[in-house]
Amino acid sequence: MPGRLAVHTGWQRPVAAVDWPLWSTTARLVVTDPDALDSAFDLVCTHLDAVDQACSRFRSDSEISRLAVSGGRPVEISSLFADYLRAALEVAKATGGDVDPTVGAQLVGLGYNRDYMLIAGIDITESTVPMHVTVTRRADWSAVTLVDRSVTVPDGVLLDLGATAKAFAADRCAHLVAHELGCGVLVGLGGDIATAGPAPAEGWQIEVRDGLAEPRCQIRLPGGAAVATSSTLRRQWFRGGRLVHHIVDPRTGVAAEPVWRTVSVAAGSCLAANAASTASIVRGKDAFGGLRRSGLPARLVDRDGRISTLGNWPVERDEA
């Protein structure tokens, strides 16, 4: 196991935590029973390994990569992959297509065709972006058919579950640990944080900030709540001399205009929080309408560092 931490933060008893590198970000697991940490870590890693095997575009042996060359024919997929794909399609429907899992080819065209750590800091050109899948038609999420474990994807459409899989995995892992071990748990996968089971007496204390130079705030989550932060500051690279990021606007096929540096949303699940935060990045100046309709607490930081909050955002302090 990576470095194990006993964390004392004013709670009545210590919690145990472990951090480790995962998917070009940092994963964090915190449990309210220090004796359960080893078992919780094994449960989480086993599930995340299965998610990677099913959903990673960067593995030639993954289910999603095999689906990319199915030629538009129905394919029987694993229950786990079906669950993750179904979650992505439900988010697409709920956001009116603003968070769409069929933008894989557009991401490849932008240069995001391998693990982010392999493209960070370099300039991607046409000659360095091999297209392994020929795009023959434009389609959106509604063209994907999923019935039980049988999925049909139009020929030439490349799926990417990056906008939802990490958040859904955080939810799944948190509930798995709480159910199997009976303790309170927090699972953080980059900016996607889910909790389950009984929280510490003072709630889960979480600092919301994307980078040391960014404005921060401290929030308190009750057990079972989640928070997600979507950012145009992370996963950036150069494409033909132009700085781009990983959140694609499905309407244009290119990186969403960075009106917002970060959008953070709290919700009852990390999937719902991330759907709202990612859709807000895509919607740009129109983000406020959707957030107000959702009623979810949210915090937006614009390109100049100005902060806007909506709903009952659980802010305790807000400082630069």
pLDDT digits (tens, 9 = 90+) for 209-225: 766 666 778 899 999 99
Q: Is the dihedral of CA 229, 234, 239, 244 positive or negative?
A: positive
Q: Are 218 and 317 in contact (CB under 8 A)?
A: yes
CA 48 from centre of chain: 13
Q: What's the token pair of residue 210?
A: 């994307």
pLDDT computed for residue 91 by the predictor: 98
Q: What's the token pair of residue 54?
A: 């099913």
Task: Report the candidate in 198, 181, 179 with the shortest Cα–Cα distance to residue 40.
Answer: 181
Indicate whether 153 pLDDT > 90: yes
Domain locations in the chain as residue ranges: 4-34+188-319
26: left (phi over 0), alpha (psi -120 to 50) or beta: beta
pLDDT computed for residue 133 by the predictor: 42
d(CA 164, CA 145): 18
Please tell me the pTM assigned to this model: 0.86
d(CA 242, CA 40): 42
Assign a CATH topology to domain 4-34+188-319: T-fold (3.10.520)
Residue 99: DSSP 8-state: S
pLDDT computed for residue 9 by the predictor: 42
pLDDT in tens, 74-115: 999 999 999 999 999 999 999 999 999 999 887 776 665 545
**Residue 106 is inside which H or E element, if any?**
helix 104-109
